Amino acid sequence: MSVLADLDAHILDLAWAGVLYWLVLGFSAPLLQRWRGVLVHLVFPLSALGALFIAAVGVAGLALPPSAMVLPIGLPDLPFHLRLDALSAFFLALLGSAAFGITVYAAGYFRSMQAGPLALVGLWYHLFLAGMATVMLADDAYAFMVAWEVMALSSYFLVTTDHDVPEIRRAGFLYLLIAHVGAVSLLLTFGVLQGGHGAYTFDYMRHSEITPFWASAAYLLALFGFGAKAGLVPLHVWLPEAHPAAPSPVSALMSGVMLKTAVYGLLRVTFDLLDLRIGWWGTLTLALGLVTALYGVIFAAVQSDMKRLLAWSSIENIGILIAAFGLTLIFYTEGKGALAALSLTAMLYHAINHAFFKSLLFIGTGSVLHATGERRMGRLGGLIRFMPWTAWLTLIGALAIAGLPPLNGFVSEWLLLQAFLLTPGLTQPYLNMVIPVAAASVALAAALAAYVMVKYFGVIFLGRPRDPALEHAHEANWPERLGMLWLAAGCVALGLFPAQVIARIAPVVRHLTGQALANDGNWLLLAPLAAERASYAPLIFLAVILVVLLFTFIWVRRVYHGRVRHADPWDCGYPEQNPRTQDSAEGFGQPIRHIFVSFMRVERETPDPFDRHPHYRGDSRDKLWLLLYKPIADLVGWLSAQAGRLQHGRIQWYLTYSFVTLIVLLVFVSR
């Protein structure tokens, strides 16, 4: 018992040991370049164990009081402060549990890689993991920003793993640029929070008082900075470029886990470091989140590249998270603690759900990519026959992300919708107008997500192979299957045991909002408020479906028969049916494009009716890029062209510049 109590006291040491373990693994990767077998068969499996350890520390840390420590590294007068409280522990658990599945998968995925690039990937991959974990542990602005930059830079190098492709270099540059614009904004946030005293520890910020004006400034800067990392519209443009460019396990880490660090930061700044919160912040954030959710899901529906589709879907999910965050703020500032606790629970639940199902879907694309070498959905099809493991596990992820019961996506959606239903009685009358519209938008985004996932799964895995080469697609290897299995099992478990999960994350909710969600039901029944108001029991739900299914099956077989004849599909009188007459990805998205065309710039090349080899291309692009980013880029380009006029490359001119500068300075000094 005493050993266990001792472990409790050293929980932060354990977390930091996990981070160091990752760092050691990362820096050993380049040294092991000669022994490719060790790299492939040892480094990644060991790192997966580290992830499991971090997850265990996180889960254990949820129930423990905060602990802090100071490391003798960093600036002379500002060493690294680390702290593990319930909020950090929750996000560490999320990081560890999702990273475990992804890293197990990566052990199989990177097998085919050359030793040189593999060693580099091993380095950056572990720096990325360690950076994310340190972001969650940091307790002063300096450590936070250092970890934040390690995370941004290592993920930049991971994105540009295939740097010989020009588009990938371009995507990496865009990512780096927006990551740093965001980082500058975060620096300014901490600058505002330290209140002119030069005290950059979070502990100081927690206890300092700040005027409402500066609090709003800090909040808006934080929203901008973390929004840039999370992909909040209109700062989302890098996300559909950078996430698909990376190797699939890295895409999974970026979408599944890295986006959550932004959510973590927003929660940390708003509910922990700032000592006051103002009502309109919540409304603004709710609106931004809903716009992001709808924008993301509409664009996801018209994508034809499978990884890009998932990246847009991540934008949608971030939108839902941010909307739930805004709702929490609204309730909190209105003094409705119980409701704030409900919507915060929904948000945290959705964060961990998204970590599981989005990682699962992204690594699923990795197996498809390895088996077929194709990312365009219009060239895939019928893979459920050749890759049953990947297909069925991906199906679990797709159903979960579409918010279908009894999987996990439904639970968080259910909690969020319950939070909207409890709003009557808010003091601000305008909120009573906002809330129904917001609830409708969330419902619409969730319904469109189902459309997107039917398209995603149906076009890639169902139907007939659109290319004869797909008949030779091979199944994922064993570590890949295990990684997917872990994440899929997580989706099912999070869906079936919501009461247990909510009890686990109650300390986080209590820590931030002062109240926790009481479960009125028993271990089977999830009833966040009162059992007669709303309840949901996924296990019973699943049991009834399974019993009816089994009973129907036996009844049909017993009373009638199970005879089957196989035949060709019905051709509806058109004998010239071939795999290309199936719906393409563009075709499946066409109704959505038709309805929401005003958000998009559609580029189409339609074939000539007399063309013997017809070629069709349809591309729906983001209009915001043209409206917002292009003018800024043009302006920057113009400014640097003007500045370029000063540069001639001739020494005499530069000497003249120095001379004139000297004269001007002398005039100033002599006055």
Site for another protein in 531-560 (CB under 8 A): 531-537, 540-541, 544-546, 548-549, 552-553, 556, 559-560
- Span near another protein by CB under 8 A; candidates 10-18, 331-339, 411-419, 635-643: 411-419
Among positions 174-233, residues that touch another protein (CB under 8 A) are: none
In whole angstroms, give the CA distance from residue 62 to residue 445: 31
Structure tokens at 494: 């999070």
Rg of the chain taking only CA atoms, in angstroms = 27
Give the amino acid at 299. F
**Of 34, 197, 566, 671, the one binding another protein by CB under 8 A:** 566
Q: Identify the three-state secondary structure at position 570.
A: coil
Q: Does 436 bind another protein (CB under 8 A)?
A: yes
Q: Please say whether the dihedral angle defined by the alpha carbons of residues 36, 40, 46 and 48, taken in this order, is positive or negative.
A: positive
Among positions 49-88, residues that touch another protein (CB under 8 A) are: none
- Span near another protein by CB under 8 A; candidates 24-32, 281-289, 573-581, 651-659: 573-581
Q: How far is the CB of 97 from another protein (least distance, A)?
A: 25
- Note whether 176 and 155 are within 8 A (CB): no
Structure tokens at 101: 């599945």
- Note whether 249 and 476 are within 8 A (CB): no
**Of 34, 558, 563, 671, the one binding another protein by CB under 8 A:** 563
- Note whether 129 and 22 are within 8 A (CB): yes
CB nearer to another protein: give 378 or 479: 378
Q: Does 414 bind another protein (CB under 8 A)?
A: yes
- Note whether 482 and 380 are within 8 A (CB): no
Size of the site for another protein (CB under 8 A): 87
Q: How far is the CB of 542 from another protein (least distance, A)?
A: 10
Q: How far is the CB of 467 from another protein (least distance, A)?
A: 13
CB nearer to another protein: give 472 or 630: 472
Among positions 248-277, residues that touch another protein (CB under 8 A) are: none
Q: How far is the CB of 605 from another protein (least distance, A)?
A: 22
Give the amino acid at 34. R
- Span near another protein by CB under 8 A; candidates 146-154, 264-272, 406-414, 509-517: 406-414
Q: 203: buried, middle or exposed (CB in 10 Å: 19+, 13-18, 0-12)?
A: middle
**Of 84, 582, 593, 620, the one binding another protein by CB under 8 A:** 582
- Note whether 579 and 381 are within 8 A (CB): yes
CB nearer to another protein: give 22 or 414: 414
* Number of C-beta neighbours around residue 368 at 10 A: 27
Q: How far is the CB of 484 from another protein (least distance, A)?
A: 18
Question: Which residue stretches of 160-196 are H helix?
Answer: 166-193
**Of 57, 158, 309, 435, the one binding another protein by CB under 8 A:** 435
- Span near another protein by CB under 8 A; candidates 272-280, 332-340, 407-415, 475-483: 407-415
- Span near another protein by CB under 8 A; candidates 99-107, 268-276, 562-570, 646-654: 562-570
In whole angstroms, give the CA distance from residue 502 to residue 25: 34
- The interaxial angle of helices 478-496 and 86-109, nearest 10 deg, is 150
Q: Does 587 bind another protein (CB under 8 A)?
A: yes
Among positions 20-49, residues that touch another protein (CB under 8 A) are: none
Residue with tokens 């970890």: 147
Which residues on adjacent β-strands are paired with residue 178?
A: none
Structure tokens at 285: 């954030």
Q: Does 430 bind another protein (CB under 8 A)?
A: no
- Note whether 118 and 34 are within 8 A (CB): no
- The interaxial angle of helices 306-333 and 259-267, nearest 10 deg, is 10
**Of 34, 197, 558, 565, the one binding another protein by CB under 8 A:** 565
Can you say how many angstroms the Cα of residue 198 is from the centroid of all Cα atoms in its chain? 33
**Of 4, 564, 643, 651, the one binding another protein by CB under 8 A:** 564
Among positions 373-392, residues that touch another protein (CB under 8 A) are: 381-382, 384-385
**Of 6, 568, 605, 608, the one binding another protein by CB under 8 A:** 568
Q: How far is the CB of 386 from another protein (least distance, A)?
A: 11
Residue with tokens 């009685």: 425
CA distances to 263, 301, 380, 545 from 615, rounded to whole Å, are: 43, 22, 17, 46
- Span near another protein by CB under 8 A; candidates 196-204, 207-215, 413-421, 599-607: 413-421
What is the total residue count of the chain? 671
Q: Does 597 bind another protein (CB under 8 A)?
A: no
**Of 8, 170, 579, 628, the one binding another protein by CB under 8 A:** 579
Structure tokens at 104: 């197990």
Among positions 491-530, residues that touch another protein (CB under 8 A) are: 521, 525, 527
- Span near another protein by CB under 8 A; candidates 53-61, 484-492, 505-513, 566-574: 566-574
In whole angstroms, give the CA distance from residue 460 to residue 452: 12
Q: How far is the CB of 131 from another protein (least distance, A)?
A: 38
Q: Please say whether the dihedral angle defined by the alpha carbons of residues 246, 448, 443 and 411, taken in this order, is positive or negative.
A: negative
CB nearer to another protein: give 332 or 457: 457
Among positions 295-354, residues that touch another protein (CB under 8 A) are: none
Q: How far is the CB of 384 from another protein (least distance, A)?
A: 5
Phi, psi of 577 (to 5 degrees): -85, 130
Among positions 439-498, residues that touch another protein (CB under 8 A) are: 439-440, 443-444, 446-448, 450-451, 453-455, 457-459, 462-464
Q: How far is the CB of 464 from another protein (least distance, A)?
A: 4
In whole angstroms, give the CA distance from residue 60 to residue 512: 18
CB nearer to another protein: give 101 or 589: 589
CB nearer to another protein: give 274 or 302: 302
Which residues on adjacent β-strands are paired with residue 621?
A: 601
CB nearer to another protein: give 421 or 664: 421
Short-list 135, 96, 137, 157, CA closest to 12: 137
Q: How far is the CB of 511 from another protein (least distance, A)?
A: 28
- Note whether 65 and 9 are within 8 A (CB): no
In whole angstroms, give the CA distance from residue 438 to residue 452: 21
* Number of C-beta neighbours around residue 461 at 10 A: 24
CB nearer to another protein: give 264 or 536: 536
